[in-house]
Each structure stands twice: as C-alpha cells, then as structure tokens.
Amino acid sequence: MHELGIVFHIVKTVENIAVENQVSKVGKVVLQIGEVSTIIPSYLVDCWNWKCSKSVLMEGCELEIETIPAITFCEDCGETYSTVQHGKICPYCSSACTYLVQGNEHEIKEIEVC
Ligand SMILES: [Zn+2]
C-alpha cells in the first residue's frame, strides 16, 4: 500500500507549485506511471480522491494516469527492447547483462488550473 505515500508526495509537490504560482485551485493533474512500477492505478485514484478532499487547493481535482512503456537496454549488443515482453534476457543476443532504462518511475506531467 505504498500508493498512499506516493499520493501524499504528489499532492505536496502540486500544492507547492500551485502556491509558488499563486494558483488557488488545481483542476487536474496528469501523472505518468511506468509500466513495471508496482503502483496500482485504482488504489492510487482512491488515495488521491481521499487526500484531495482534505485539501482546499486540490478539492475535486481530477487525476489522469498515463503509462510510460518499460524499456530495457542490453549492455552486450547495445539494443533496447520491451521489458514486459522479454524480461531480463536480451531477445537479440540472449545476454543477461541488461538494465531497465525507463518504466519504473512516476512523474507529474501536467498540472491544470481551474
Ligand atoms: Zn543483447
């Protein structure tokens, strides 16, 4: 249940940005979530709605979630490939010397003001 911690962090970040820009109401936040992150979007939305109901700035704020595709890079042949399809083994050269380039992160993409 780390979704709650993530929501607290995002709401805090958005509130700080809103205050800095003298915004009194945030209407929508677009959040990008990596394909292989362990975040469960439906939990995230539940936590979001609860947290926003307690914030003057964020009350009724909509959360839109976009998925970032997971990509793995192979150190041996230099190719990149879809992590979800192939996992840790490179489909080009069968090497296991691979690492995740993107897909495990979450970040705020857009903040819309009412
Ligand atoms: Zn390879």
In this prediction, residue 2 carries a pLDDT of 86
103 Cα to the center of ligand 1, angstroms = 19
33 Cα to the center of ligand 1, angstroms = 26
92 Cα to the center of ligand 1, angstroms = 5
74 Cα to the center of ligand 1, angstroms = 5
CA distances 87 to 28, 35, 82, 93, 101, Å, are 34, 12, 8, 13, 13
4 Cα to the center of ligand 1, angstroms = 37
pLDDT in tens, 2-35: 899 999 999 999 999 999 999 999 999 999 999 9
Judge whether 68 and 104 are in contact, CB under 8 Å: no
In this structure, how many other beta carbons lie within 10 angstroms of the beta carbon of residue 80?
14
Give residue 114's pLDDT band: very low, low, confident or very high (50, 70, 90).
confident
pLDDT in tens, 44-80: 999 999 999 999 999 999 999 999 999 999 999 999 9
Q: Which string of DSSP letters, residue by residue, matches 45-114?
A: HHHHHHHHTT-TTTTT-EEEEEEEPPEEEETTT--EEEHHHHTTS-TTT----EEEEESS-EEEEEEEE-
In this prediction, residue 102 carries a pLDDT of 97
pLDDT in tens, 80-96: 999 999 999 999 999 99
Model's pTM, two decimal places? 0.86
Neighbours of ion ligand 1 (CB under 5 A): 74, 76-77, 90, 92-93, 95
Check whether 1 has a pLDDT greater than 80: no
69 Cα to the center of ligand 1, angstroms = 19
64 Cα to the center of ligand 1, angstroms = 35
